[in-house]
Every structure is written in C-alpha cells, then in structure tokens.
Amino acid sequence: MALFTRPAPAVMPETWTPEGTLVSQRYRALEGATVLVYTAAADRGITHYAAACMGCTYRAATNTAHNPMSETDAAKAANAHAAGCRAMPRGVPACPGETEAAEMIRTRLWARRYGKAPHPVHISDFNAIRIDRQRPTDWIKALLASLAQAAPGFLTATPTSSGQGTRFTVQPFGRP
C-alpha cells in the first residue's frame, strides 16, 4: 500500500469543456452552479451558440423568436438565467453510453416528424443537448448516416450540391 497516493482530481464544472464543444463564456449562478455558453462545429459556415446550466435542467439553443442564437444572444440568456437560478453545483454530468446518446439524437429527430413537409437536419439542431450527450460532431454525422441507411422512411441522406458532404432530412409521418 502506497503511503502518499492521491485520488485523481475531480473535474470541476468551472473548467470542464464537454467533448464536441467549445466553451466561450461561463457564468456563476446565485448558489454556485456554472452556466456555460458554448458552440460546436459549424455546419453551413454559420456558428450557433447555446447555453446550459450545470446545476439545473436549463438548456437553450434558440432565442425568443425561435432562431438559433448568436454568441451575444447566448451570453444574454446565460446571464439572465444565472441571475435567477438558485441551483447548487451538481458537478460534471456522467457521460452517457453509446445507446443512450444515440437515443437522445433519435428522440430529437423524431419530434421533427410531426410537420407536413420534410425537415432538414443541421448539426446545430443538437447544440442544446451537447452537454448531456457529450459526443463530437463526427459521431453525430456517423449516427445520422447509419439511421438513414437503417430507416430511409424516417431519415434520408443525399449528397450536397458541392459533393463535399451529406444532407440529412427527417421525413414526416405518412398522411392518408
């Protein structure tokens, strides 16, 4: 038995950066929880931001007009949440298993089937759940490709006009 062994240092939410994200700002809530402003790999050449509280369930990726947030919008949302949130710090969330992370993506896509027209899928659609899912953009793209191959009536994949990538589209439920 070693006399001077130390446990591995615990990762603190104040400095943690979830896999697949770039944290640009951090805010402190009233009771100490950390509120993150972050982004992920941009698709379509546009960078969208999101905000997430590490003490409660607050997640935001769209502004009040339901448009993707800029860094300024996300910072305002994070600051407003931090000013009123009384959550205690919960620490860094556990990284979900592959099956659970894939189910989070499937559930988010399934909600898009309730329209009458096909719904285009963008990587930024998953910004709000990046903290909970903790997977990089390449993992999401690979999952989307496998879903499109396994269930083409649910999700379709077509090459982009530039030939540099794949466009995914959620298909609506068949209506009589």
Residue 5: its pLDDT value, please? Answer: 62
The CA distances from residue 17 to 52, 62, 111, in Å, are: 12, 21, 28
Residue 176: its pLDDT value, please? Answer: 42
Buried b (16+ CB within 10 A) or exposed e, 106-129: eebbeebeeeeeebebbbbbbbbb
Q: Which residue type sits at 98? A: E
Structural domains of the chain, with CATH: 22-84 (no CATH), 98-170 (1.10.10)
pLDDT digits 0-9 by tens, 113-167: 988 899 999 888 888 888 888 888 889 999 999 999 999 999 999 988 777 788 9
For the chain, how far is it from start to end, CA to CA, in angstroms? Answer: 71
Alpha-carbon distance of 71 to 135, in angstroms, equals: 21
DSSP label of 66: S
Residue 71: its pLDDT value, please? Answer: 93
Contacts of 171 (CB under 8 A, 6+ apart): 113, 118, 153, 154, 155, 156
pLDDT digits 0-9 by tens, 25-62: 999 999 999 999 999 866 556 788 999 999 999 999 99
- Residue 44: name the closest of 170, 167, 148 by CA: 167
pLDDT digits 0-9 by tens, 67-117: 889 999 999 999 999 999 999 988 888 889 999 999 999 998 998 898 889
